[in-house]
Amino acid sequence: MTTTFKFLGVSAFEIANGEGIKILVDPFITGNPLCPVTLDEMTDIDMILVTHGASDHMGDAITIAKRQETLLVCGKDVGIHASKNGVGKEKITPVLWGDHIEHLGVKIQTVECRHMSLLESNGICLTGIPLSFIISPENGTRIYNVGDTSIFSDMKLIAELYDPNILLIPVGGEPETTGGYAHLSPREAALATQWVLPELSIPVHYGLGSREPADYEDYTRLLAPTVKVHQMKPGETAIYDPETHKLTHIG
């Protein structure tokens, strides 16, 4: 079985396993200057993962969840906001660090990160803990979706516990393009990559024309030379084969 990745810009991905189960991660579609698709093209989504309540991560999660039979996995603050805005409670699975869920054969482990979750909801502010996810869409594929974080040494422990082979890691970000900084510089992201030591790494959360992905690749080549860095353009699709350990770009 293979896993398909479609990068939608900033931190948004559509991930599908060999059974066709679709996972949408941080679906910042509307208003995302890097996203090449429209909201109407986001169809047949089985699960939405939201790392935290920021506009460039929560994005269109609520609109998509209201339109489709999909499961929204998120922090409790985002879950409360979704419920108040018309998403049925049966569609919402609020999680904390350390929680594990399985849906349609896809396994999700939530892990710690160092950031914040804050959103305005019907005139009040909601706060909660931000999330990182270990996503296992099928056997042999373990994706560490960092979300937004500053660097912290327990990323080593997360790697030891869950042995991710693909890393989606923020490498900076320009506020006018992404909505905010990810709080990891390219050098810090490369050091975190050295700690995690995945097979493959995909840099995310950077602005249009940014040098940050290239800088991250340069630092990673020095600090973690065994890790293959794959820069993906928004709209590009790639397929990961866990048997060959290769990520193949298909346009």
Per-domain boundaries in the chain: 3-249
Distance between first and last Cα of the chain:
20
Binned at pLDDT 50, 70 and 90, residue 33 comes out as confident
Q: pLDDT tens digit string along 181-199? A: 668 999 999 999 999 999 9
Distances (CA, A) of 17 to 4, 14, 104, 138, 142: 6, 10, 11, 6, 12
Binned at pLDDT 50, 70 and 90, residue 72 comes out as very high
Instruction: Decide if pLDDT at 35 tops 80.
Output: yes
CB-CB contact of 224 with 159 (8 Å) = no
Q: pLDDT tens digit string along 135-173? A: 999 999 999 999 999 999 999 999 999 999 999 999 987
**Per-residue pLDDT averaged across 3-19, rounded?**
96
Binned at pLDDT 50, 70 and 90, residue 30 comes out as very high
User: Helix (H, G, I), strand (E, B), or coil: what is residue 108?
Assistant: strand
In this predicted structure, what is the pLDDT of residue 182?
67
Structure tokens at 240: 């990961």
Question: How far apart (Å, rounded) are the C-alpha atoms in residues 99 and 114?
Answer: 17
Structure tokens at 204: 């995310």
Distances (CA, A) of 43 to 67, 87, 106, 129, 239: 9, 17, 18, 29, 20
In this predicted structure, what is the pLDDT of residue 178?
59
Mean pLDDT, the chain, whole residue set? 94
CB-CB contact of 25 with 13 (8 Å) = yes
How many Cβ atoms are within 10 Å of 108's Cβ, its own excluded? 23
Question: How far apart (Å, rounded) are the C-alpha atoms in residues 78 and 60?
Answer: 12
Q: pLDDT tens digit string along 87-141? A: 999 999 999 999 999 999 999 999 999 999 999 888 889 999 999 999 999 999 9
- Token pair 């922090």 is at which residue? 75
User: Helix (H, G, I), strand (E, B), or coil: what is residue 68?
Assistant: coil
In this predicted structure, what is the pLDDT of residue 179?
57
**Per-residue pLDDT averaged across 11-15, rounded?**
97
Which of the following CATH numbers is that of domain 3-249: 3.40.630.10, 3.40.190.10, 3.60.15.10, 3.40.50.720? 3.60.15.10
Helical (H) or strand (E) element with 193? helix 186-196
